[in-house]
């Protein structure tokens, strides 16, 4: 079986303290590192937020409309952990967005769970009130437990992603052997290339250095200091 919950559990047994996601925002100066254990804790909190607080169920679709940021791998993991289908459709069952796309999703907040991330350091709340019906992840996520066990967990046959209508199962996404490298990427994790890379690194025992707002010279420097290989990034 190669569902996400099983793959994450295996990663926790293998290397709980090793870095899994290291994030750099060269515009703000933020550096955030998530070990496998810390990543799993964040995934658990986000899973509880999606399921226990907002009533999403296995098979529901979710649009993770986030740029290159460490919270995108967290919500990808939460979606897969609970059997949600990550999609690029404009009419999903739920949305997670950032400041730049908040206005585009706020109008439909009464029709679907709409969660917004400030993308400020440490995952804190928005400084200003959000539109009616939009939920602030920086407020709601902290009250969720650090462990989450789905009562209806996905299997390897469940759909993990649906990009432009092309569906990929948990087994196909996570069962290919994975990648054991430490790779540096600038691609948004909530994109076809980014999601595939994240899943491969988790399955193979690798790790991700996620960078935004960096020059080519700075990317090369970070690649050297983090002992990571630059991954060819293809934007969605």
**What is the predicted pLDDT for the residue at 233?**
53
Other C-beta atoms closer than 10 Å to the C-beta of 148 total 22
For residue 38, what is the enclosing H or E element? helix 36-48
Take residue 146 and report the two structure tokens written for it. 């650090």
Name the pTM for this structure: 0.96
**What is the predicted pLDDT for the residue at 176?**
81
**What is the predicted pLDDT for the residue at 151?**
87
Residues in the chain: 236
How confident is the prediction along the chain (236 residues), in pLDDT tens digits per residue? Answer: 689 999 999 999 999 999 999 999 999 999 999 999 999 999 999 999 999 999 999 999 999 999 999 999 999 999 999 999 999 999 999 999 999 999 999 999 989 999 999 999 999 999 999 999 999 999 999 999 999 998 899 999 999 999 999 999 999 999 987 999 999 999 999 999 999 999 999 999 999 999 999 999 999 999 999 999 999 854 33
**What is the predicted pLDDT for the residue at 235?**
39
What is 4-230's CATH number? Answer: 3.40.50.12780
**What is the predicted pLDDT for the residue at 94?**
98
Q: What residue spans define the domains of the chain? A: 4-230
SS3 98: coil
> Could you give the CA distance from residue 67 to residue 134 in angstroms, rounded to a whole number?
18
| Distances 159 to 10, 89, 93 between C-alpha atoms, Å | 20, 15, 15
Place of tokens 């289908």: 85
User: Phi-psi bin for 133: left (phi > 0), alpha (psi -120 to 50), beta?
Assistant: left
**What is the predicted pLDDT for the residue at 1?**
62
Of 199, 162, 56, 198, which is closest to residue 115 (Cα–Cα)?
56
């Amino acid at each position: 079986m190669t569902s996400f919950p099983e793959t994450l559990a295996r990663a926790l047994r293998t290397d709980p303290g090793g870095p899994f996601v290291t994030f750099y925002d060269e515009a703000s100066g933020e550096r955030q590192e998530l070990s496998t254990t810390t990543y799993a804790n964040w995934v658990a909190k986000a899973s509880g937020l999606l399921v226990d607080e907002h009533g999403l169920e296995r098979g529901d679709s979710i649009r993770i409309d986030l740029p290159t940021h460490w919270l995108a791998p967290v919500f990808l993991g939460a979606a897969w952990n609970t059997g949600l289908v990550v999609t690029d459709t404009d009419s999903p069952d739920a949305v997670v967005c950032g400041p730049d796309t908040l206005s585009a999703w706020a109008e439909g907040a009464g029709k679907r769970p709409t969660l917004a991330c400030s993308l400020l350091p440490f995952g804190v709340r928005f400084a200003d009130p959000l539109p009616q019906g939009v939920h602030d992840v920086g407020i709601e996520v902290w009250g969720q437990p650090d462990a989450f066990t789905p009562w209806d967990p996905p299997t390897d046959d469940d759909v993990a992603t649906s990009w432009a209508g092309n569906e990929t199962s948990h087994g196909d996404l996570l069962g290919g052997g994975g990648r054991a490298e430490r790779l540096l990427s600038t691609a948004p994790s909530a994109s076809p290339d980014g999601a595939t890379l994240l899943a491969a690194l988790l399955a193979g025992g690798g790790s991700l250095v996620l960078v935004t707002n960096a020059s080519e010279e700075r990317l090369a420097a970070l690649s050297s200091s983090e002992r990571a290989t630059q991954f060819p990034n293809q934007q969605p």
